[in-house]
Amino acid sequence: MRNSLRFGRDAELVFSYALLILGAIVTLTGWHYGLGYLNDIGPGAFPVGLGVLLMVLALMSLREASGSGEAHRIAPVLFIPLGIIAWGLLIDTAGLLAATIALIALYVFGEPRLKPFGGAVLALSLTAAGYVLFVLGLKLSLHIFWG
């Protein structure tokens, strides 16, 4: 079961190169739309930023893939971004606690070194820190429970 979420170095290299090419295509396409100015952002600013970010991540993945011949785990690549997306989707409707629990639960699936009890402690402490920082400190209108 543990080896079911692994893939080889060659597959990671091919995927990283594909992401690098995709990032370049997105960047060039966005560049043609126009970036605009800092006070008047154009329609191409977001695609260019996203494409550059994708190329940077692809280069980091290429560096990691070419560094060793070991198989790498794919679970963090899947579950950690899903946790971030779930947090972003749940923060307004379900509240800070539920969104943070969803984030950490998906993180626990992607990182086997973190056990469920440690994940629960991490979720509660991140919720408390987020409440103190964002609600009390920055006066943002986030709800702990249902928004």
Q: Is 42 helix (H, G, I), strand (E, B) or coil?
A: coil
Q: Is the model more confident about 24 or about 39? A: 24
**Domain chopping of the chain, boundaries:** 2-73, 75-137
Across the range 21-27, mean pLDDT stands at 91
- Per-residue pLDDT, 142: 84
pLDDT score for 108: 84
**CB contact set of 119 (below 8 Å; sequence gap of 6+):** 104, 105, 107, 108
Q: How confident is the model at residue 60 (pLDDT cuts 50, 70, 90)?
A: confident
**pLDDT exceeds 50 at position 113:** yes
What percentage of the chain reaches a pLDDT higher than 90?
Answer: 19
pLDDT score, position 69: 46
Nearest Cα to Cα of residue 80 among 108, 118, 113: 108
Q: Which residue has the tokens 């006066």?
A: 139
Single-letter amino acid, residue 57: L
Measured at the CA of 16, the angle between CA 14 and CA 22, to 5 degrees, comes to 105
